Amino acid sequence: MSFSRRFFYYSLAFIAGVIIASYSDVNIFFYFGFLILGILIFCVFYQKKEVAILGLCFLFLVFGMFWEEKFEAKSIPSGPKNIHYFNNKGEITFKGTVYGEPERKTDKQKLKLKVNSVFIDNKEISSEGNVLLSMPIYPEYFYGDEILVKGKLLTPKEFPDFNYKNYLEKDFIYSVVYSPEIKVLSKNNGNRFFAKILKFKDEFIEVAQAVPPPEGALLEGMTLGETRRFSTDFQDELSKSGLSHIVAISGMNIIILFEIFLTIFLFFGLWRKQATFLIIIILGFYILFIGLPASAVRAYIMGIFLYLAKAIGRQSTSSRSIVFAGTAMIFQNPLIVARDVGFQLSFLASLGLIYVFPILKEKFSRESQDSKIKDLILTTLAAQSLCFPLIVFNFGNIPVLSPISNILVVPFSPYLLAIGFIYLLLGFLLPILILPLSFIVEISFSWISFIAKNFALLNNFFLTPPFSLIFILVLIIALFIFLKKKTSTKVSLEKA
């Protein structure tokens, strides 16, 4: 058995351990049970490598559980050196630096603050941790601002339909402050290169703002990851119509961009390997350009492993590549397994491209000639197919007509993205074209807003299926096994 295959099994065992610890309370007997079992199997069957590998898998399973529990323990403060030690203890003053791109909405802004000190009895003492600040949109604060904050640190709430506490914990944020008093102490304390990238992005946002909302808001969301111009009503329309995922920079969007660039470069005569490496570089700058959102970064990493495997002509290793990428990200932060829907969707979108796309391509190739446009549409549908059960579980209910609205919108997403990027680039290089071209963009993106608005009106009721997490996991695993067998059977017949 090759090292790659052995490492694949170890990675799966490690991920399984993280999943077990993420969704259950693991006691000490559970740890020792698997630990002893793994050691016994390895020692007794040391000469039989396949069986010995099973023993090592149990050890990696235990390590996965331990690793997740270790990160979970960070949520418990060990004293004033952790800023969340002061949660729910009244008003407090602390100092820190804004990290990451500020999140701006129509009426408010949110800042992620890396704390370095807290003031107790007029004495400054060292403290650390991340805090989320929520406040009115003005005055605006920026990446790299060092600020003095006065307010009440609160533990994030757990709502019936959304666990906000868990959502923030994946980014190691354990405290929130609403409407704090803020004093700017200094500016430009962050990474200068990243700060320039964000300012560069603002110039593209100015180009996009020539397109009136909601079409302009869709343009910003789908291309730049910006949702500042999304009104509450329009967000509600997207949710009710089942189209909220369209504006998220996640696995499906990154895969669409890969395919768009790949189609363009292959058309101009580049080899697949050359095109793949060039796309990886371009999209790397793009991820940096939109502010390094966690969901996009993880989707990008998944895409790198997936397309490199495809570029060297080894489709059979694609699933291993995705698992290796997932393992690396989970090792860096195991909390993303249960708390980061973006990571989960990126993982499933990549698997959909590996296993669903070949099946769709085979079926539709029988009925019509191959074309790059058709492949682009099938890629989009394949990337979304395995994500649907997880979307249903996370949102808790299904807009009855959402499958129809997605069929009407998703196949056009690649073209709308292409139109959006071309407009932003031309508008940036030739500002005189901004207003004339904005009309074309508005008409193009009006298709999504039209479908969202009308399907939101039709979707006055939702289906709430009795889906549990276990059911979703079993369903996804069953689909994965079925598709893997179908793909393997096809490969075997081709070899025969």
- My answer on whether 349 and 255 are in the same domain is yes
**Residue 285: what pLDDT?**
87
**Residue 255: what pLDDT?**
74
Give me the number of domains the chain comprises.
Answer: 3
Q: What are 473's two structure tokens? A: 């996991």
**Residue 496: what pLDDT?**
42
Mean pLDDT estimate for the chain? 82
**Residue 494: what pLDDT?**
41
In a domain, 207, yes or no: no
Whole domain around residue 19: which residue ranges?
3-73
How far apart (Å, rounded) are the C-alpha atoms in residues 312 and 197? 33
How far apart (Å, rounded) are the C-alpha atoms in residues 259 and 254? 9
pTM higher than 0.75:
yes
Q: Per-residue pLDDT tens for 49-95? A: 777 888 888 899 999 999 999 998 888 898 899 999 999 999 999 99
Q: Per-residue pLDDT tens for 146-204? A: 999 999 999 998 876 678 888 899 889 999 999 999 999 999 898 888 888 888 888 99
Question: Which of 50, 73, 96 is the endpoint of a domain?
Answer: 73
**Residue 482: what pLDDT?**
64
11-to-17, 80, 426 alpha-carbon distances in Å = 10, 37, 45
How far apart (Å, rounded) are the C-alpha atoms in residues 165 and 72? 13
In a domain, 353, yes or no: yes
- My answer on whether 134 and 31 are in the same domain is no
- My answer on whether 370 and 268 are in the same domain is yes
- My answer on whether 140 and 277 are in the same domain is no
What single-letter DSSP state applies at residue 183? E
68-to-19, 26, 71, 322, 337 alpha-carbon distances in Å = 8, 11, 5, 20, 9
- My answer on whether 224 and 368 are in the same domain is yes
Burial 454-478 (b: 16+ CB within 10 A, else e): ebbeebeeeeeeeeeeeeeeebbee
Tell me the chain's radius of gyration from C-alpha atoms: 24
- My answer on whether 261 and 177 are in the same domain is no
- My answer on whether 104 and 62 are in the same domain is no
Q: What CATH number should be reported for the domain holding residue 120?
A: 2.40.50.140
Residues of the chain with pLDDT under 50: 490-496
- My answer on whether 7 and 145 are in the same domain is no
**Residue 245: what pLDDT?**
73
Question: Which of 46, 73, 100 is the endpoint of a domain?
Answer: 73
**Residue 448: what pLDDT?**
92
Output the CA angle 296-302-307, nearest 5 degrees.
Answer: 120
- My answer on whether 169 and 268 are in the same domain is no
- My answer on whether 454 and 347 are in the same domain is yes
